Each structure stands twice: as structure tokens, then as C-alpha cells.
């Protein structure tokens, strides 16, 4: 959430920065509400102070021997009651203004970092670097063709169980998924991340805190009879682990790695990636998350991206790093690096991780702060997939495919899977 002080004092800055995202906003109305809320707060505080003085004066007068039932004491008490009544009225009015302001601010995205390149859409994203040699050729099969021949997952029966865009992993498919999850968790744990297994169901406050609500309600699955939603990413519960907390600066950064099943409607993607493991309603993901000191979040952003890259390198998967332009930036992000893995069957790079610095945006929505030298300030949050497991499996199948139909696995995964390759008729 954007800083209310910035709305009051420099709405033109907000309008200018959001215009880099392609938004055209007139924030005068919002500024008026923000100023009204601040003025009401100031008037209430002044009246409360005046009422406290009157209460103190009554106590001192009685202590000095004045009759508690005297006309002077009654007059002071009446004045105090009138002030108390007015304070209550101002408090109600202030809360209404604050709620209107908060609801409006919740719908506005984060301001892009000054380092984030300007651009209208994904065609203007900037390639930072590549790693590995992407195999190229017309003879490569798509991962779903390989999976079908190896009997790794089932789509048609899964649609019978649920609906389309769900899969049931079978045999070596389930075994490979489990191996990837364990491999990723172990790799990141060795790098100093604390492993957690958060709830899969999250409440509205948690989704609002991380930025999924109110904007992306249609993208999430909601339980009809409870204030609970299926989590779209472990980023949501991990953000709220420290909601309404003050974390001492000496404890920062807090680094978590969380495995979670994820659920997304994928609204607006009808007809896209209808086959295979790329765009499912349910998928597994290992998430990296940092609570960082505000002055060290840029450094943390580079590190969380490097840590996500290490999975691809260990798995010997060619990839590239893309910096998103302002027009392609996620709602909560200030700056984002996407990792795109090479899929030789499709002959394209596909996103497999999105590593974002959200600066104070999520922490402000969640009231997560840090304390240093007796001063309290909002900290910064960062997140990145480490990695999306289904897409990693797709990349392994396509990059490891052999002429005889088998799939050779990278050395780092062999101890987890228990074999060097997946063969036909296993």
C-alpha cells in the first residue's frame, strides 16, 4: 500500500510514477480524503489533550480541598463531557475517512523502482543474461508428448475428477515431482533459508496483505461458507506470518523457503497452454521469501534471484534472466527479474520464476515494521519462486529427452529420484 503521507504531500509524484505503469490518474480527490483524515486526527488529538487537562484540573482541585459537588467542579466536568462527546464524534468521522482512504489505496499498485526500465508491455522487457546452451531443432518433442509415452501424468481422468487444467501425476511422474520438491527445499535450506510448511487455506486479510485482494479476487478459489481462500502462492501465508509485528533490525533478514500447493483460476487465459504442465489450476511451488532491512533490499533482490538461478544451474537447464519493464510489472512489485527456462520442444523460453522486490508495499499493508535505535520503520519484503515445480518437470523432460524415448536426469537430482534416467516401460 502506498504511503498516506505521500498521497497528502506529493500526489503528483504518485501520478507520475504510476503513469510509468500506463495508468492515468487524477489523485486530487484522494488527496482531499487523506488531508481530511489527517485534519480530523489532529483535531481529535487536540481535544483529547484539552479533555485530559480538564480531568487533571478536576483531580488537583479536589485534592486541594475543593468540594467535589461544587459549582466549579460540576462546570469543569460538564465541559469535559462535552469534549469527550466531541472526541467520540470526531473519532467516528476519522475512522470513516480512514476506511475510505484505505480502500482506495488498496486498489493502487506499487510505485516502480527508479531502476525499473520504462515500457508498455512484455515486448519491452530487458534481457540481462543467459546461462547454458539451449538445444535447438525440430526433432524435440513437447513435454506432454514425452509424459504420455512415459505414462507420467493423466489429464482426461483428472478432468473427470475435477475439471480441465488439473493433472494426476502417475508413477515416475509423482516420483519426479516429489524428488524436485525435496531437492529444492534442501538446496535452499543449505543456503540459510528456514523451511516452513504454511497453511494452504488463507483468510481475506492475508490475501489483502500480500496484494492479491481486492484486485485479483477473480483469480482465486474461495470457500463458500468460510472466510478462507485456497492460496495462489506461498507468498501469501508467509507475508502474514509476521503481520502486525515489529521485527528487531538485528534479526533481519529473515529468509524463508516454503513448499505449498498453489491454486489459480487462470482467468483471462482461455485457450493458452491447455496441454501439459505450464498453466494449471493446481500446481506445486517452492517459494523464497525475505523480510529485509529497507536499506538492504536491493542487495537482497540480487541474492534471491541468484538463489533461484542456482536451482536451474544445478539441474543443468538453460535459462535467461529478464528484467520486467514498468508496463509488465506485477501489482505489488517495485522491480522484478524473471527467470525463463528453455523448452526445446516448444522452441521458446518460458517463465519459471519471478523474483520481486516489493519494498515497503506489502509490509505497509500488513503493518510489519522493524525497530532500530528506538525508531520504528516499515521494512521491505521480497519473494521469488525457487522454483515452480511443474514447469521445472516440463523443462527436465524436454531438455533431457533422448532418441530412444527415455529422459536423462541431471546428476544433482539422481540421489533424490533414485535413478539416472526415466525409461520406457518402467
Task: Provide the annotated active-site residues.
Answer: 264, 279, 351, 354, 391
**Structural contact between residues 405 and 145, judged by C-beta atoms closer than 8 angstroms:** no
Calpha distance 304→394 (Å, rounded): 23
**Structural contact between residues 149 and 405, judged by C-beta atoms closer than 8 angstroms:** yes
- 276: which 3 cell numbers? 501439459
> Where are the extended beta strands (E) located within 46-177?
126-131, 153-154, 168-169
Using CB atoms within 10 A of its CB, is residue 190 exposed (0-12), middle (13-18) or buried (19+)?
Answer: exposed
Calpha distance 60→66 (Å, rounded): 9
Number of Cβ atoms within 10 Å of the Cβ of 19: 13
Number of Cβ atoms within 10 Å of the Cβ of 15: 16
**Among 207, 249, 252, residue whose Cα is nearest residue 232:** 207
Own/partner contacts of 188-191, CB < 8 Å, gap of 24 or more, are 188/257, 188/286, 188/288, 188/307, 188/386, 189/257, 191/307, 191/310
Q: Residue 16, SS3?
A: helix
Number of Cβ atoms within 10 Å of the Cβ of 119: 20
Q: What is the torsion angle, in degrees rounded to the nearest 10, for the CA atoms of residue 123, residue 125, residue 126 and residue 130?
A: -80
Calpha distance 231→235 (Å, rounded): 9
Number of Cβ atoms within 10 Å of the Cβ of 26: 9
> Where are the extended beta strands (E) located within 251-367?
254-263, 282-292, 319-323, 335-343, 348-357
Amino acid at each position: 500500500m502506498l504511503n498516506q503521507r505521500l498521497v497528502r504531500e506529493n500526489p503528483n509524484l504518485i501520478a507520475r510514477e504510476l503513469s510509468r505503469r500506463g495508468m492515468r490518474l487524477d489523485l486530487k480527490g484522494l488527496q482531499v480524503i487523506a488531508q481530511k483524515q489527517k485534519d480530523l486526527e489532529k483535531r481529535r488529538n487536540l481535544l483529547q489533550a484539552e479533555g485530559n487537562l480538564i480531568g487533571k484540573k478536576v483531580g488537583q482541585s479536589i485534592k486541594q480541598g475543593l468540594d467535589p459537588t461544587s459549582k466549579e467542579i460540576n462546570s469543569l466536568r460538564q465541559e469535559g463531557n462535552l469534549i469527550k462527546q466531541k472526541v467520540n464524534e470526531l473519532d467516528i468521522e476519522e475512522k470513516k475517512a480512514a476506511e475510505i482512504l484505505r480502500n482506495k489505496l488498496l486498489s493502487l499498485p506499487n510505485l516502480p523502482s527508479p531502476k525499473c526500465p520504462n515500457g508498455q508491455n512484455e515486448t519491452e522487457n530487458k534481457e540481462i543474461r543467459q546461462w547454458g546452451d539451449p538445444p535447438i531443432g525440430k526433432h524435440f518433442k513437447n513435454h506432454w508428448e514425452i509424459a504420455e509415452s512415459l505414462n507420467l501424468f493423466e489429464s482426461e481422468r483428472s478432468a473427470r475428477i475435477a475439471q480441465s487444467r488439473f493433472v494426476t501425476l502417475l508413477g515416475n511422474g509423482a516420483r519426479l515431482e516429489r524428488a524436485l520438491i525435496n531437492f529444492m527445499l534442501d538446496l535452499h535450506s543449505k543456503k540459510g533459508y528456514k523451511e516452513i510448511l504454511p497453511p494452504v487455506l488463507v483468510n481475506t486479510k492475508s490475501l489483502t496483505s500480500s496484494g492479491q485482494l481486492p484486485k485479483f479476487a477473480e483469480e482465486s478459489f474461495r470457500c463458500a461458507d468460510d472466510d478462507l481462500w485456497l492460496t495462489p502462492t506461498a507468498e501469501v501465508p508467509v507475508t502474514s506470518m509476521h503481520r502486525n509485528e515489529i521485527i528487531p533490525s538485528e534479526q533481519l533478514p529473515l529468509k524463508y523457503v516454503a513448499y505449498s500447493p498453489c491454486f489459480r483460476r487462470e482467468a483471462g487465459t482461455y485457450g493458452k497452454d491447455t496441454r501439459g504442465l505450464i498453466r494449471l489450476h493446481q500446481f506445486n511451488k517452492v517459494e523464497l521469501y525475505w523480510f529485509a532491512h529497507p536499506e538492504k533490499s536491493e542487495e537482497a533482490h540480487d541474492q534471491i534471484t541468484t538463489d533461484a538461478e542456482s536451482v536451474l544451474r544445478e539441474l543443468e537447464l538453460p535459462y535467461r534472466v529478464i528484467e520486467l519493464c514498468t508496463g509488465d510489472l506485477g501489482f505489488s512489485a517495485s522491480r522484478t527479474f524473471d527467470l525463463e527456462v528453455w523448452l526445446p520442444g516448444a522452441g521458446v523460453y518460458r517463465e519459471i520464476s519471478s523474483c520481486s522486490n516489493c519494498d515497503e508495499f506489502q509490509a505497509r499493508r500488513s503493518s510489519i515494521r522493524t525497530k532500530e535505535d528506538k525508531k520504528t520503520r516499515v521494512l521491505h519484503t521480497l519473494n521469488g519462486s525457487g522454483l515452480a515445480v511443474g514447469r521445472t518437470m516440463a523443462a527436465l523432460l524436454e531438455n533431457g529427452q533422448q532418441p530412444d524415448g527415455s529422459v536423462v536426469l541431471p546428476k544433482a537430482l539422481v540421489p533424490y529420484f533414485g535413478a539416472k534416467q526415466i525409461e520406457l516401460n518402467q
